[in-house]
């Protein structure tokens, strides 16, 4: 996928779990953007996402539009070379991530499950 592509779209048969992988690992690196979740009923929710490493790892998510009824949970885990956000859905949905900058790369993919040690976020 080209680095300058804005939207990363997943629309698979079973995308009840997806992972937003932010390729950051050093202090001063960040990924900011918007997660758009569209349900089969046509309603769309927008979630602001901010992932950064400074003195410590900080991950923020805030619902800014729509409802979170079909979004079961958002959690994250810090890995060696990245920070991954996991979104669990209550039903099938189309999910897009639009990063605000292209300084650090990110990817959105379907996963089978969410790791048990992932830290839950209140959004």
Q: How confident is the model at residue 1 (pLDDT cuts 50, 70, 90)?
A: very low
pLDDT of residue 41: 78
Q: How confident is the model at residue 62 (pLDDT cuts 50, 70, 90)?
A: very high
Q: List pLDDT tens digits, range 63-115.
A: 999 887 778 899 999 998 999 999 988 887 788 888 887 788 888 888 888 99
Q: What domains can you pick out in the chain, each with its CATH number?
A: 8-111 (2.60.40)
Confidence of residue 4 (pLDDT cuts 50, 70, 90): very low
Contacts for 12 with CB less than 8 Å, ≥ 6 apart: 110
What integer pLDDT is reported at residue 117 of this predicted model? 93
Helix/strand/coil (H, E, C) string of the chain?
CCCCCCCEEECCCCCCEEEEEECCCCCCCEEEEEEEEEECCCCEEEEEEEEEECCCEEEEEEEEECCCCCEEEEEEEECCCCEEEEEEECCCEEEEEEECCCCCCEEEEECCCCCCCCEEECC
């Amino acid at each position: 996928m080209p680095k300058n592509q804005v939207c990363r779209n997943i629309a698979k048969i079973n995308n009840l779990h997806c992972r937003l992988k932010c390729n950051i690992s050093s202090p001063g690196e960040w990924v900011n953007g918007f997660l758009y979740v569209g349900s089969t009923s046509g309603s769309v929710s927008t979630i602001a996402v901010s992932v950064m490493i400074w003195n410590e790892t900080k991950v923020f998510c805030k619902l800014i539009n729509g409802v979170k009824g079909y979004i079961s949970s958002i959690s994250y885990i810090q890995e060696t070379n990245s920070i991954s956000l996991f979104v669990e859905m209550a039903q099938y949905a189309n999910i897009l991530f639009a990063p605000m900058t292209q300084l650090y790369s990110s990817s959105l993919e379907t996963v089978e499950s969410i790791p048990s040690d992932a830290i839950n976020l209140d959004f």
